[in-house]
Structure 1
Amino acid sequence: MKCQSDKIRFVTQAQLIGCLLVVLGHSIPLSWNVPSIIYNIDVFIYTFHMPLFFFISGYLFEKTASYSRYDFRAYVLKRNNRLMIPYFTMTLIGFIPKIIMNRFFEDDSSLNILYFIKCFLVPRDNVWGHFWFLPTLFIISMLSFVFSKIKHLNGNVYCAFSVLLLCLSIIPNLVNITEWFAVNDIIRFVGYYAVGIMFANTKFELLLSNNNSCYKLLLLFAISIGLFLISINNKIFLQSIRTIIALLMIMVILAFSSLVNFTSNKIGLHLSRKTYSIFILSWPFQSIVSVVFEKVLGLKYYITMPLSFISGVLGPVIVIFLVDLLEKKIGKRIISPIIGG
């Protein structure tokens, strides 16, 4: 997730914002015993933070001209090394610890062959709760060349095609077909990936970086909050409204990232370059904090949430630092691929 150039610096910053929102969302106590306002803020964050990642992935595929720099086989291999090596390796590492800590998480994990298979083939049942994202993005990425080809042949057709894919995500019978092989999540998020490809190298992209970006940001954010408040009491059009909120908030985050350069300092730059590794390593640290401080010590949410957030950022940063030191000393990258480095 390193910044490719100044032209897409704002996207790199948006990735970091998305990562921090994921860590924040995972900071909610396991018991969900929090005030309603915190619960609603968390629901709001979940409406758009994962769509943001899929959108950015599609955008970067198109923006960096990956369709011309790689053939299909080379690209799939590249994405496999990036996404699936951490998925399989970290799952194996976390399997036994998850079984041991099962009583704290109140799920159906157990030491048997079926659960072991499901950890790999049903991403939502993985030992790490957030790892569903990796195989889902990997499978969607294999559609990149088809999407890009359609866009370059006819932009209007591709625009309609992207809208159609977004519409599929609001059909209950489709998004609840099966969780095996990430099918449900592919249907939920493939539209955002397609829209990311559509957004790249267009006039809409330029609109985010002009002098009126601040006003657009405030307007889109206000509309998003308004729609979210409506969605709370609207069960009929709930998913449709939240899809619109996701698209609006993606634009809000991109606009904010184009206005503010928070990667100009060493801390921001380092975090933005390690976003993927922070994402991968955050949940193990947060799980430990949740179990120790919430389940064992019984501390309140206003103590456990900040501790969980801090551990979800600081823990991975420390691990990344130690791994970098070790690999420089031995002269080989043997751990970095496992943690997304």
Structure 2
Amino acid sequence: MSATGRIEYIDALRGFTMILVVFHHIMSLGMGIESSVCSSLFITFRMPLFFFISGFIASKTAEIPTWKIWAEKIRKKTSVQLLPTLVFGLLFTYVVRHEDIGSFLMHRWKFGYWFTISLLEMFLIYYTAICLTGKFFRRKGGGRKCDRPAAIILVGLAATLYLLKYTLKNIGITDQENDLFCLQDTFFYFQFFAFGNLAARNQNLFERLLDKKYFLTGILILFIVLFLRQTETDPGNSTSAMLQSAEALLCRYCGLLIVYSFFRRHQANFTQAKPLGKALQYVGRRTLDIYMLHYFLLPHLPEVGEYLLSAPNSVLELSVGITLSLLVTGICLVISNVLRLSEPLSHYLFGAKPARR
């Protein structure tokens, strides 16, 4: 843990995941490579890790004992996440895509800017659940941090929202409203947010499990089997489709645990004292900046994509993709630092706290 109280390997892990997000968008949006071994591998843990980390960090903050504090938390999260999304999302829509505001609002993924909307909704759900837990399950003596009821509620919410994802049409929510609020993504990925939160609340138990002699061995074997089985699909078989969906979900959990365990096991290499750790931590602390800016900088390289697809080579694809990802990430950080020279822009575009006078 750093002198500021931040968990260094978690910051590094978030930075690593952000680079993979840029990698995916370069390959899919910039080169037209929608499916490859690298893309299929990274998709198993990329977004689940982001939400897992968000839930993990959320548990480290103070609990929400009153509705007044709940309202203040939501106000801050809305300011930090929704305002930048609208500014950059609408700017991208107008300047790059030459479309109107309606196209952005009704687009299934908001032209890529869905993540912060879904994350804001998750914090709204989480803070509400914790506030209700503190109200109805107080400890003797006035304490309000009730881990067991909170765990039960979070697991119940995660399961309910996951099932609700598949029944949106049956409860009167139209496709248009679903696109407007990104509910499908929120309902699906909240389970990883809850998983990260529960892992942090029970960190000693969680880490003891990861340190079990054969636990990670089993997870690695299971991940490999499930990943290989993803290529064996039968779209016409509903039973097969349900089984495939369950296997894909389990594969995501396995991939998440493997990558988290790697960073935790080798956390000495991801400290501020190490160049790699320092760089990844810096990226990890500027993920919002990079996420908002990188869509404007994605290279348009369809010819490179056609070449990589014509002669599939995972090593070459990874080398080209990571190199371009680091370049785009670096340019984003430069632009971010220029914009952050202005305190108002730093605050309203990237959620930076105003400097103390």
TM-score (norm 2): 0.73
Letter in 1 for 2:325: G
One-letter amino acid of the structure 2 residue matched with residue 116 of structure 1: I
- Can you list the C-alpha shifts for 1:126-148, whole angstroms capped at 9, x where unaligned? 23x2x111111111110112333
User: Post-superposition shift, 1:206?
Assistant: 2.8
Kindly indicate whether residue 252 of structure 2 is the aligned counterpart of residue 246 of structure 1.
yes
Superposed, 1:1-341 pairs within 5 Å as 5=5, 8-30=7-29, 39-67=36-64, 71-100=69-98, 111=99, 115-122=100-107, 124=109, 126-127=110-111, 129=112, 131-148=113-130, 149-150=132-133, 152=147, 154=149, 157-158=152-153, 160-162=155-157, 164-165=159-160, 167-168=162-163, 172-174=166-168, 178-202=178-202, 203-207=204-208, 212=211, 216-233=215-232, 234-261=240-267, 262-264=270-272, 265=274, 266-286=278-298, 289=299, 291=300, 293-294=301-302, 300-301=307-308, 306-307=319-320, 309-324=322-337, 327-328=340-341, 332-335=343-346, 337-339=348-350
Q: Which string of whole-angstrom CA distances, capped at 9 and with x for unpartnered residues, describes residues 188-232 of structure 1?
A: 1122222222222214333267xx379654542331121122233
Distance 2:261 2:160 in 1: 24
Measured on the aligned residues, the alpha-carbon RMSD in Å equals: 3.5
How far off its partner does 1:88 sit?
A: 0.6
Larger CA deviation: 76-85 vs 314-323: 314-323
Answer yes or no: is the 8 Å Cα contact 2:79–2:348 preserved in 1: yes
TM superposition shift of 1:318: 3.1
Tell me if the contact between 1:54 and 1:193 (Cα under 8 Å) persists in the aligned partners: yes
Equivalent-residue separation in structure 1 for 2:90 and 2:103 (angstroms): 12
The two structures have a TM-score, normalised by structure 1, of 0.76
Which ranges of structure 1 fall in alignment gaps of 5 or more residues?
A: 101-110
Distance change >3 Å, CA 141–CA 118, structure 1 → 2: farther
Q: 1:208 to 1:86 in 2, by over 3 A?
A: farther
Q: 1:57 touches 1:196 (CA, 8 Å); kept in 2? A: yes
Query: Aligned with 1:82: secondary structure?
Result: helix
- Name the SS of the counterpart of 1:232 in structure 2: coil
Residues 290 and 329 in structure 2, CA contact (< 8 A), matched pair in contact too: yes
Matched residue count: 311
Counterpart-to-counterpart distance in 2, 1:11 and 1:214: 23
How far does residue 299 in structure 1 lie from its aligned partner after superposition?
Answer: 6.5
Contact 2:122 2:190 in 1 (8 A): yes
Give 5+ residue unaligned stretches, structure 2. Answer: 134-145, 233-239, 353-357
The secondary structure found in structure 1 opposite 2:23 is: helix
Whose radius of gyration is greater, 1 or 2?
2
User: Taking CA–CA contacts closer than 8 Å with sequence separation of 6 or more, which of the two structures ends up with the larger relative contact order?
Assistant: 2
